[in-house]
Amino acid sequence: MSTTVHVQATVNGQPREGDVEARTLLVHWLRDHLGLTGTHVGCDTSTCGACTVHLNGDAVKSCTVLAAQVDGAEVTTIEGIGQEGALHPLQQSFWEEHGLQCGYCTPGMIMAAAELLDRNPEPSEHDIREALAGNLCRCTGYHNIVKAVQAAAQASPTKEEVTV
Amino acid sequence: MGAPGAEAAERTEPEGDGFVGRSLKRKEDPRLIMGRATFTDDLVLPGMLYAAIVRSPEAHARITSIDTSAAREHPGVEAVFTGEDVDVAAPCPMVWVPPGVEMRVPEHWPLARDKVGYVGQAVAVVVGRDKYGVVDAAAQVVVDYDPLPVVTDPEKALEDGAPIIHEEFGTNKVFEWSLPGGDVEAAFRDSDVVVEKRVVNHRTAGAAIEPRSVLAEWREGKLTLWSATQIPHICRVILSIQLGLSEDKIRVVAPEVGGGFGSKLQVYGEEVLACWLARKLGKPVKWTASRSEEMSTTHHGRDQIDYIRIGAKQDGTVTGIHAKIIQDCGSYHLIEGPVIPTFSACVMGGVYDFPAIQTDIVGVFTNKFTTDAIRGAGRPEATHMIELTMDELAAKLEMDPLELRRKNFITEFPSPRPHGFTYDSGDYHRTLDRCVEMLDLDAFRREQAELRERGVYRGVGFSTYVEICGLGPSRALGPDGWGMQGGYFESAQVRVHPTGSVTAYTGTSPHGQGHETGFAQIVADRLGVTPDVVEVIHGDTNTGPFGKNTYGSRSLAVGGEAIARAAEKVQDKAKRIVAHKLEAAPEDIEVSDGSFQVRGSPDKAMTLADVAGEAYIPADLPEGMEAGLDELCFYDPSNFVWPFGAHACVTEVDAETGRVDVVRYIAVDDCGPAINPLLIDGQIHGGIVHAVGQVLYEQVAYDEDGQLMTSTFVDYALPSAADVPSFETDRTETPSPTNTLGVKGVGEAATIACSPAVVASVIDALRPLGVTEIDMPLTPIRVWQAIQEGGAS
């Protein structure tokens, strides 16, 4: 009944492939097939952003991308941006600024913020709030998330290289 | 004006070598920021099956037949069960049994039997090997319903001739309950002014971003349930009752839990069902809610209609307060829903010195899902109605609303209240004064006037609040008191390992609050170590003592105090060992600079590791002392704790569209001495936005047929980062005499405070347009309508 497709992609810098049911969502391929459970599902309607990953450098909501669509693409998840002892500046700043409480939205929030800082290394508070409007957090009231993104922007080594 | 001992919190780091009071970054965070944490849905067990649930599309109907044959034939399906198959020992127990009150508790089973009472009620379950396949198969279960008349309005449900939801009771009334304190009717007779008001506090959702999830395993005659729950220990007791299985055979684990806000203070049918399925099938079974299942069958909160009266003398002195609360309970109870409005009664009267206070509550069945505890649980409703009515009283008396508040603040503590409670400590003037100072009210009024000239409508609203938390004294809450069938102590065990590191077990069960950090700070100071060598373990009934878990802002005031006391027991034993080894008196040993020292002789000292070595190689312990360095505490508080504060909200209203924007928000809260200020601020920020969400955006809405109209985050609008500003916060620290830490609670405080400040700010903004009252949610259409009606009047 169901059609199987073969997916081959670079995930967190590693080649990954597998056969999946054609309707398999990217988030389920990552979580259930590749064991990358840092990407979460919160809403099923692309509203909450807990499932945000990077697809060829763009932040996407992996609950509304089919695994089949990432064939040949580069996918980066929260597990791929930093490790113990070598945290991503946003991981470090979320920790420093208490930008998380339960931590369920955090991987998606960090991935969305990382894309913002790629596009706009010196965002205003307004820029940050608008950019994160598609990522819901029920714990923090966003106050410290905004501070964390500001702190990461300050800490970013690319800051000096960018001409505004 | 300040009460003795009330010192403003130092915003700088405290002096000395202690860790308590410092804004340490959290021990919990590395695993969370790296995506390495384990939430329930992340778990996979060998041979694990997935469950999908068939749910009722009808709000009230008899089930006439269920055909599961097509679903059984679906590839990968291992079993399909309906209500009659699931032979659990007991329905969901409802644990509030108030003495002398007739309480109606319909049988609520994991799967419906014979009839359904709300949209989303579980009627069948499909179990199979494929996560997508079980959902396909569930769609092939054919259920025939014979619809019954539906009632969703609680006031209509109480009228004669309303459809009766549970025939066995002959009424939709769940219970009637009163908490009198003084003679309110006499007080109103003696008043110069009485303000009466009807306030609708609409239904909301906890809306944790992690949906509920359960994984059950039956192995070698024992059951393990991993669940996204706030209450693993309580869950085990209730599973034992419902499954007819003794507690020694049940382990409940709350792994990483992605937010709760009360919505996971529950034992849901799916938790019982997963356990039953795992035992029946001999294989692990996982079920994770979709967001639509979460919105329709994770308990809701609020949903009160409140009739409030406040009386006062002409000079503004308040004389009495009376609230009649109509609580929509939904069609069935879960573990404690009906008790929630009684927490409104606890703080009726708020921060004001009312000589007479009475609350009367009627609970009502409707064809909606269950209401139960959501962040604040009854206290936000109380603050909301009290504060908005105080504003109206001020308007009627032509008094400044802040002057009215100040005139009536309680100033003497402890303060016995007429309805039987005793407020522990407070300094209400101080928090309000600081709040007004931070706002710069005079400057705001000038700005407001200038903006009005240009047709820009800004307003400010205030809320001064007190809340009850630190649940709680078991004697007050228990079977012969409030009627809860449980104790409300908390447990802790502090275990020093042979080489001097520490594991602390807490009976609380965090889901974002930061207990691993805050509790480690408390233990570290008492044992002369750093928090990084104190591991805090929680959320597993197989480790540490039986506990009462996390809700009602109780974790620090009860669980933290238990941790402190257990650590002090360890400290006492360590001092005796040190005294014995160094030939000093135990009372001369102090913990300082990371060691146990003889007072006045810092060179004579032992580290905790030295002491642990003596305790676990017990060759030379004081006469009669047992080996080991491991202590237990069960702490049951003598009173509740009563946090308080003052909030101010500035909003701007677009009079053309009715859109409301929060421009500034100032919160000055007092939850006693800070253990970790960073965590307190985080709780305040989140609590504010939770309430702003209710005021401006969020509503669980059912239509007249009982259909849920807000079953996704597209319809149920949580505030995003773009909807709120950054916040201005400060604290005062008034210690509670209830516990040795002096702490209160903070998880719900801002949610309890916030909503009337936002509503009052909108009324203040629109007063020139004739708007004097408006019920939540303040959606653009409702605000626009209020402007039109105000302009017409």
Domains of chain A, by residue range, sit at: 4-80, 89-156
- Which residue on chain B is closest to A36 by alpha carbon? B35
Q: Indicate the residue of B259, B678, B714 with minimum beta-carbon distance to A139.
A: B259
CB-based contacts of B220: which residues, under 8 Å, 6+ apart?
Answer: none
Average pLDDT over residues B333-353: 98
Six-digit token string for B752: 């309890």
**Alpha-carbon span B336 to B325, nearest angstrom:** 17
A19 in contact with B, Cβ within 8 Å: no
Interface test with A, best of B263, B711, B720, B729 (most A CBs within 10 A): B720
> How many other C-beta atoms lie within 10 A of the C-beta of residue B537?
15
Which uninterrupted H or E stretch holds B651?
strand B644-653
Q: Which CATH number fits domain B489-635: 3.50.50.60, 3.40.930.10, 3.30.365.10, 3.40.50.300?
A: 3.30.365.10
Cα B578 to chain centroid distance, Å, stands at: 43
pLDDT band at A162 (very low <50, low <70, confident <90, very high): very low
In this prediction, residue B8 carries a pLDDT of: 37
- Cβ pair B682:A144 closer than 8 A: yes
Averaged pLDDT score across all residues of chain B: 96
Interface of A with B in 61-100 (CB under 8 A): 77-79, 82-84, 87, 91, 94-96, 98, 100
A107 touches chain B (CB under 8 A): yes
pLDDT band at B790 (very low <50, low <70, confident <90, very high): confident
- Listed by start position, the domains of chain B span 1-37+424-482+639-793, 489-635
**Which residues in chain A have their CB less than 8 angstroms from residue B681's CB?**
98, 143-144
Give CATH for domain A89-156: 1.10.150.120
Question: Are B1-37+424-482+639-793 and B489-635 in the same CATH fold?
Answer: yes
d(CA B175, CA B157): 13
Inter-chain CB pairs, A–B, below 8 Å: 184
pLDDT band, very low/low/confident/very high, at B5 (cuts 50, 70, 90): very low
B2: confidence class by pLDDT, cuts 50, 70, 90: very low
Return the pLDDT at A161.
44
Alpha-carbon gap: B140 to the closest alpha carbon of chain A (Å)? 15
Q: Which helix (H) or strand (E) holds B459?
A: strand B457-466
Measure A72 CA to nearest chain B CA, in Å: 24
Q: What is the 3-state secondary structure (H, E, C) of chain A?
A: CCCEEEEEEEECCEEEEEEEECCCEHHHHHHHHCCCCCCCCCCCCCCCCCCEEEECCEEEEHHHCEHHHHCCCEEECHHHCCECCECCHHHHHHHHCCCCCCCCCHHHHHHHHHHHHHHCCCCCHHHHHHHCCCCCCCCCCCHHHHHHHHHHHHHCCCHHHCCC
Q: Sort out which chain A residues have CB atoms less than 8 A from B31's CB and list them.
A: 103
Interval A10-38 mean pLDDT: 98
Q: Which chain A residues touch B295 with a CB distance below 8 Å?
A: none
Q: Which segments within B467-583 are labelled E, that is strand?
A: 490-496, 502-506, 534-537
Choose the closest CB to B512 out of A78, A82, A139: A139
Q: For residues B242 and B92, is the Cβ–Cβ distance under 8 A?
A: yes
Binned at pLDDT 50, 70 and 90, residue B17 comes out as confident
Query: Looking at the complex, does the CB of residue A132 fall below 8 Å from at least one CB of chain B?
Result: yes
Nearest Cβ partner of A38 from B36, B684, B723? B36
In whole angstroms, what is the distance from residue B508 CA to residue B495 CA?
A: 17
The architecture that CATH gives domain A4-80 is Roll (3.10)
- Between the two ends of chain A, the Cα-to-Cα distance in Å is 55
Set of chain B residues whose Cβ sits within 8 Å of the Cβ of A142: 685, 689, 720-721, 724
* Helices B428-439, B441-453: crossing angle, 10 deg rounding: 40
Residue in chain A lying closest to B29 (CA): A95
pLDDT in tens, B412-421: 999 999 999 9
Beta-carbon separation of B35 and A23 below 8 A? no
Alpha-carbon span A32 to B670, nearest angstrom:
45
Which one is the CATH code of B1-37+424-482+639-793: 3.40.640.10, 3.30.70.1150, 3.30.365.10, 3.40.50.720?
Answer: 3.30.365.10
**Average pLDDT of span B609-631:** 98
Interface check for A144 against chain B (CB to CB < 8 A): the answer is yes
* Model pLDDT, residue B93: 97
Residue contact A102–B207, C-beta within 8 A: no
Report helix, strand or coil for B205: strand
For the stretch B434-453, pLDDT in tens is 999 999 999 999 999 999 99
Q: Which of B34, B514, B720 sits opposite A83 (nearest CB)?
A: B34
**A78 vs B34, B38, B721: nearest CB:** B34
Give the residue carrying structure tokens 């009475």: B358
Number of Cβ within a 10 Å radius of residue B292: 18
Residues 6+ apart with CB under 8 A from B197: B307, B308, B309, B385, B388, B389, B392, B773
Taking only the tens place, the pLDDT of each residue in A95-145 is 999 999 999 999 999 999 999 999 999 999 999 999 999 999 999 999 999
Could you tell me which of B24, B12, B112 has the C-alpha nearest to residue B515?
B24
Res B751 pLDDT > 60: yes
CA distance A140 to chain B (A): 4
Angle (CA) B579-B584-B588 rounded to 5° is: 85
Other CB atoms within 10 A of residue B707 CB = 15
Give the three-state DSSP class for B94: coil
The confidence score (pLDDT) of residue A157 equals: 60
| Distances B640 to B386, B467, B476, B552, B751 between C-alpha atoms, Å | 21, 10, 9, 11, 19
Residue keyed to tokens 């990968």: B76
How distant is the Cα of B725 from the closest Cα of chain A, in angstroms?
Answer: 8
The ipTM is 0.97
**Strand order of the sheet with strand A74-76?**
A14-21, A4-11, A74-76, A52-55, A58-61
Percentage with pLDDT > 90 across chain B: 97
Cis-peptide, bond into residue B777, ω within 30° of zero: yes
Q: Which of B35, B688, B714 sits opposite A79 (nearest CB)?
A: B35
CB-closest option in A44, A132, A140 to B682: A140
The first and second tokens of residue B53, run together, are 């649930």
Interface test with B, best of A90, A128, A138 (most B CBs within 10 A): A138
With a cut of 60, say whether residue B11 has pLDDT above it.
no
